[in-house]
Structure 1
């Protein structure tokens, strides 16, 4: 079974990549080329990631770990693929450092007998895909995904997704999942400063402002500050309704979640974060189901 067209239905199966020797290739001199904030301490990074994997397995999630690679950014499997009820979509990354990462996940999906569809035009990365619900997909476009990529994704998901909401992002916001996450049927977290521009349902004429739209739809919206967004505050992984993974330092956000009766696994990720991503980025869900 496969299909993960939700951000909050119970997570059953996920692909992750444990940091391996490729992390040692990132230095102070080349960190920007590798899209890292700074070089990471290899052994400590592996320990942090292993604790994340252990937590998910303790929660009953089947974690599939990819084999050692030469791609440091494969740590963020989210960006490489997105699994729908129809097939696994292999993305088309923007940066040279990431352009061959889909090769590795293609092998994984092949071994699982999951059909594969590849983005053939434009640029698209999975971190820009956030499901509002099972039938509504929000796609951010900006630094990593372009409009051609949005259209390419739309073409490939049209059989299983009814509505696409295209969300333009400012130049500083790498992916949509760094700005917005749906935590439950009626709870969301967002950084308003990353959602300044009007978004548009591709099938409709009138644009919408995402924060206002979510509130009008009845969402309890947790708003985060600029500093919290820089520290991957919105980049949360929902394991199942009421159980969320957050970086440990986002204490105010954790308090907001706990006030809403959510259990939070506080991930110590001081080395993981140096690679430039959060808990959501490090997971490529294969199956979510009720």
Structure 2
């Protein structure tokens, strides 16, 4: 059995990728926070304390915690990885040749630790000591030549492990595009992931990790809406079928609103047959079951069979091979449900079947989870939640104990 991989959302968590809030969050201002997709400017020291407590809870439950920036620094010790990272970050057309040449020299001379900081915290116009040309003259002193990446906090979005394959996603928002490029660099160059098969890619159709739920071995749900496109869902389906990673993909249209940007802002699994769900949308949530027909078209591509839409919970239970997928409501009424959904009440992280990490502030949802027999591990999130993301958003499981089912002896490969 591979040491890396996951076949569900709830298998016991063995290894998880996190990003501890860092200097990139100190670069948020009232002028750029909207562009960088934050609702508020967090108190960084408190956010770090909250994140450290979150990481310790995972360790206390037996999980190995990996940090993205530490992996990136180790990756950038390789000359090939360094040159790829530098070329990629300088590829934008907004820099101009003069500034691009200066920044290439600056980044090339940096240590791996310094280069990691430049790539994640960014470089402001007033921080350059050369490259003086039209670009630097016309930009404001506090404009960024390389933007910071505050959303690195949400490691779930830039990659998803499906069985023993790492799926590199393609983030829809321009402010987040570089996150997937750095994640892809780590999986391609870091010795920890040598030989890991990869699917998708940062250059392909948009798929975001928050929209991908591993409902059961061989069963994947993909939210399609504001961030993941229909073409992205189709690309994912084709690749997981081709590599034998799934037998059915459920495409789930979701409302294109900020509060429901990803499928995991609407629902997450907390046990093998239990899901916490935003009740204000459950009646309208539908799924299209997508399977491989076994046939190919004139171009040699697999022909996908797309079933008519049916209620999501019904289609999911049928695909999972269970009698019923029980749903636990966020909140107690439409108003409290909307409040706790906005505060990431649905965005939970299962660390084992029936054990889930939640934000402590969602009292009503947490009480409903406990009443349903779920062990709740509450964490503080007053500052961590300022970017609109909960425990699931902040974590990318790299290894879970397999649940079995399809490929019960372990992961393929």
The interval holding the TM-score normalised by the smaller chain is: over 0.9
**Which 10-residue stretch deviates more, 249-258 or 52-61?**
249-258
**Which 10-residue stretch deviates more, 205-214 or 228-237?**
205-214
Match of 1:187 in 2: 274
Q: Deviations over 1:4-46 (max 9, x none)?
A: 1211110101111001000011112221111111010111111
Structure (1 or 2) with the larger CA radius of gyration: 2
Task: Identify which of 361, 375, 394 aligns with 1:282.
Answer: 394
Partners of 1:192 and 1:211 within 8 A in 2: no
- Are residue 53 (structure 1) and residue 55 (structure 2) matched? yes
> SS of the counterpart of 1:166?
strand
Task: Identify which of 140, 164, 177 aligns with 2:249.
Answer: 164
Higher relative contact order (CA 8 A, sep 6+): 1
**Which 10-residue stretch deviates more, 88-97 or 99-108?**
99-108
Match of 1:236 in 2: 348
Q: TM-score, normalised to structure 2's length?
A: 0.67
How many residue pairs get aligned? The number is: 290
Tell me how large the CA RMSD over aligned residues is.
Answer: 1.7
Q: TM-score, normalised to structure 1's length?
A: 0.94
Per-residue deviation, 1:107: 3.5
- Are residue 208 (structure 1) and residue 303 (structure 2) matched? no
Match of 1:5 in 2: 7
- Are residue 177 (structure 1) and residue 264 (structure 2) matched? yes
Structure 1 alignment gaps of length 5 or more? none
Match of 2:200 in 1: 118
1: CA distance between counterparts of 2:313 and 2:239? 27
Q: 1:78 to 1:247 in 2, by over 3 A?
A: same
Per-residue deviation, 1:118: 3.2
Written as runs of structure 1 = structure 2, the 5 A alignment for 1:259-274 is: 259-274=371-386
Per-residue deviation, 1:193: 3.0
Q: 1:35 to 1:132 in 2, by over 3 A?
A: same
Structure 2 alignment gaps of length 5 or more? 70-116, 122-148, 292-305, 331-336, 403-413
> SS of the counterpart of 1:18?
coil
Match of 1:32 in 2: 34
Q: Relative to total residues, which structure has the larger helix share, 1 or 2?
A: 2
> SS of the counterpart of 1:101?
helix
Per-residue deviation, 1:192: 3.5
Q: Deviations over 1:187-241 (max 9, x none)?
A: 1111133452432102342211124546784122112222221111110000011
Match of 1:154 in 2: 237
Partners of 2:343 and 2:388 within 8 A in 1: no
Q: Deviations over 1:47-104 (max 9, x none)?
A: 1001101110111101100115231101000000011224211100011110011222
2: CA distance between counterparts of 1:227 and 1:213? 28
**Which 10-residue stretch deviates more, 101-110 or 49-58?**
101-110
Match of 1:62 in 2: 64
2: CA distance between counterparts of 1:211 and 1:192? 12
